[in-house]
Every structure is written in C-alpha cells, then in structure tokens.
Amino acid sequence: MFPKDIDIFNILLNAVSEGVIIVNEQQQIVDANISAANMFGYEREELLEKPLNLLIPKKYKGEHHAHVSGFMEKQESRQMGHGRDLHGARKDGSTFPVEAGLNPFSVKENNYVMALVIDITIRKQQEAKIQELYEDLEKKVVLRTKELSITIAELEAENKLRIQAEKDAKAALKKEQELNELKTKFLSLVSHEFKTPLSSILTSSMLLGKYKLTEQQAKRDRHIKIISDKVHYLNNILNDFLSVEKLEKGKVNYKLSTFKVSKVINEVVYNANMLLKDGQYINYPDDIDGYSLYQDEKIIELALSNIVNNAIKYSSENTQIDIFITQNDTITTFRIKDNGIGIPEKEQKNIFNRYFRAENALLVQGTGIGLNIVKSHLENLHGSISFESIENEGTTFTIQIPNKATI
C-alpha cells in the first residue's frame, strides 16, 4: 500500500485537473486522483490496488507492461509514448487516445512512478480535421487546375490559408506540449517540496524521544521548532493550492472593508522580520498613517507578504529591502525593491505563469505558484502588478490598487 505519511498528496492530486496515477514496482495502482478515475469511468476506490493493465486496452497490454518495466529500471523522468500512440481503456470497454508523462520517486526505500495522464481525444480529432482540410485543398487545386477555372491569385490565396492553418496548428500543438512538460516538471518539483520537510519532521520526531533529561530541553526545543516550521511551510503550500482551485472556479469571495495602510505594512514587516537572514534589514515608511484603503485587507496583506518574503529569500545576507508607498486620489502604489539575484531577462516574460521558476532560483524552495495567485487576486480587484529586474543586481515589484474597490 502507499505509505500513510504521504496521504497529504491526496489534496495536491485532486487539485490537478489532469489525471494522476501512482503505481508501485509491481505495476499496481496505489493512488489516483478524481480526474483520473473520471477519465477512465471508475470510482477512485475501484482503482486502488488494481493492476495498471486494467487501464490498458487488451491488444496493448503485453507491449505496455514491457515498456513500464524498462522505465522502472532506468528511474528517470520522461514523457511516455514519445513517437508512438498510447491508448487507455475505460470501464465500459471503450478506448481513447492519451498522453502520459512519467516521474519516478522513492518513499522509505520503496520505488513509485507518478504518471500524468491527459485525454487527447479532442487533439486527435483536430489533427484529423486538419488532415482532411489538407486533402480537400489538394483535391481542389488539382480539379481547378485541370478546369482552368481558378486564377493564380485565388490559388495563392488558398495556399496562404493552408500555410497559415499549418502554422496555427503547429503553434497550438507546441504550446500544449510546453504546458504538459511544465506540469510534469511541476509535479516532480512539488513531490520534492513535500518529501524534504516530511523527512525533517520524521527525523526531529525520532530525535525528540532521545532527549529525556531536563538539561536537554534546549535540544528538544530546537527539534520542536523544526517540526513547527516544516508544518507551517507545508500548510502554506496547501493553502496556495486551495487558492489556485478557488481562483480557477471563481469561488473567491472578497471581503471589503476600510483599513489603514500602516496596519497592513506593520503586520507584513513583523512577520517578515522572523525570516530575515543575518544582516538583512527592511526599510519602510513611517509617515503613512493618513493612507486608507477600502479593499480586501487579507488579499493586500497576502500580496505584499509574497513580494517581501521573496525579496528576503532571493537576497543574500547584509542586504536592504526597501518598501515605498504613495497614494493619490484614486490609486495606492506599493514598490518593493531588493538587491537580490534578479530575474534573467529571457525568463522575465514567464514570471507570472503558474508553476514557473527561473533557472537561477531552482535551488531555493518554492512551487512557482505565489506570484500567479497574487496577480490573479489583484486583477480581480482591478489592480495590477509589474516589475523591473536586472540579473545579479536586484528586482523592484510595483503593485497598484484602487483606493476604493468596485467589485
């Protein structure tokens, strides 16, 4: 069975719109999300402890078992079925085309594979329609050439449409492939983000039992703090996923009220001070008592905390983080400036994309969700977020929000 201490993955798996199936070395299904169960026409519980071959059409079973076994031996992430067609079998006996990304991972010396499965029926239908379009166009060209009823200009026009259709189709397919690769990479990243703190919690829990003497209280306190910090980190990740789901389904209910800007800033800075590295310092204005907002206070605090915490995380020791605030009759502007690692220019266009993380930030903990959530919330409140950054010199984020919400 799948280890109980990672049941927390169920929350993550069911927040993913694509199908996710986890199998062990015996190719037995140990977990699956609701999307996967729906895709194959089963209840989720019907899939648990069943062989993976249950979901494979009969004529592909022997071949598929060999491919999965080969992948288990190599233990490296890749997209399954590259260069050949894959099919799934529903409970009612029908089959459908799929695409699958495979990611190996281990828990307590047990090896598993996480498969991200996508139903590509619509894509295949679109490809077929495109092929039909090509064939129809070619027939028309031959027929009309023979009949000499089409002018050169008309032929060129149709040819341009065909070329454009091909370009559009290729661009759409490329975009979909990039998204699938990003999601597969994201699942691997999140698996690591959960595994590391869970391991720390387990280790500290075991060590706590060894420190029984009164004079060992300091050691007990240190491990209790480690456990508390890791649980807090995991809770923040889960909250991010829940926020993503609510934003996607339009279930966010904003609570508007009038509050002092200084109250939010003091709260953000107070919490951020506990994260500061040695020598880091937050400089913020103390002359903003006259600034007020009629907005969702928690969302404004969340947005500012995300930017300030990132500034701390991606800046080195002995650096300063500056917060600037201005307000006119209609707009309040927050600027957060750091002297951190900055964002590479070629990756700046993706910085607000969900799951994206710049190459120079991959060694720092994070899921690539925070900025996407902040941007979505601010736009829902008719605000905006932008940034300027130079790699190895620092980044300045600018948030602009209406003084009075109009949602």
Q: pLDDT at position 352, please?
A: 87
CA angle 120/122/123 to nearest 5° reads 65
Q: In what order do the strands lie in the sheet with 281-283?
A: 281-283, 320-327, 331-337, 394-402, 384-390
Q: Would you place residue 194 in the very low, low, confident or very high pLDDT band (cuts 50, 70, 90)?
A: low
Q: CB 4: neighbour CB atoms within 10 A?
A: 7
The C-alpha atoms of residue 41 and residue 53 are separated, in whole angstroms, by 15
Q: Tell me the per-residue pLDDT of 302-343, one tens digit each, with 9 for 90 and over.
A: 899 889 989 998 999 999 999 999 999 999 999 999 999 999
Query: How many CB atoms are closer than 10 A to CB 259?
Result: 16
Residues 251-282 have pLDDT tens digits of 678 889 999 999 999 999 998 898 899 999 99
> Does residue 313 or residue 197 have the better pLDDT?
313
User: 99 or 368: which carries more pLDDT confidence?
Assistant: 99
Q: Specify which residues 80 forms β-bridges with.
A: 100
Tell me the C-alpha distance between 235 and 240, whole Å: 9
E strand or H helix at 24? strand 19-24
pLDDT tens, residue by residue, 86-96: 899 999 999 99
Nearest Cα to Cα of residue 406 among 263, 296, 332, 249? 296
Decide which of 101 and 266 is more confident. Answer: 266
pLDDT score at 92: 93
Mean pLDDT along residues 374-379: 90
Asked whether residue 227 carries a pLDDT value surpassing 90, the answer given is: no
At residue 162, φ and ψ (nearest 5 deg) are: -65, -45
Angstrom distance (rounded) from CA 140 to CA 123: 26
What mean pLDDT comes out for the span 4-12? 59
| pLDDT tens digits for range 31-74 | 899 999 999 999 999 999 999 989 999 887 766 666 666 666 66
pLDDT given at position 403:
96
What residues have CB less than 8 Å from 396, skipping those under 6 apart?
335, 336, 337, 338, 387, 388, 389
Cβ neighbour number for residue 51 with a 10 Å cutoff: 14
DSSP labels for 323-386?
EEEEE-SSEEEEEEE--S----GGGGGGTTSTT---GGGTTS---S-HHHHHHHHHHHTT-EEE
For residue 297, the cross-strand partners are none
Q: CB atoms < 10 A from the CB of 235, how many?
A: 10
| DSSP states along 134-172 | HHHHHHHHHHHHHHT-S-HHHHHHHHHHHHHHHHHHHHH
- Prediction pTM value: 0.48
Distances (CA, A) of 388 to 309, 313, 347, 368: 17, 18, 12, 18
The pLDDT score that the predictor gives to residue 362 is 60
Is residue 5's pLDDT more than 50?
no
pLDDT for residue 236: 62
Q: Is the pLDDT assigned to residue 243 strictly greater than 70?
A: no
Give 286's pLDDT tier (boundaries 50, 70, 90): confident
pLDDT interval class at 220 (50, 70, 90)? confident
13 closest CA partner among 41, 32, 27, 40: 32
Task: Tell me which residue of 353, 24, 49, 69 sits closest to 186, measured CA to CA.
Answer: 353
Q: Which residue has the tokens 């703190």?
A: 197
Torsion of CA 357, 361, 363, 366, to 10 degrees: -50
Q: Measure Cα distances from 99 to 126, 173, 180 in Å.
A: 15, 13, 9
Looking at residue 407, its amino acid is I
Q: Do 17 and 35 contact (CB within 8 A), yes or no?
A: yes
pLDDT at 83 over 60: no
In the predicted model, is pLDDT for residue 344 greater than 50?
A: yes
What pLDDT, on the 0 to 100 scale, is given for residue 242?
55
Displacement of CA 17 from its chain's centroid (Å): 12
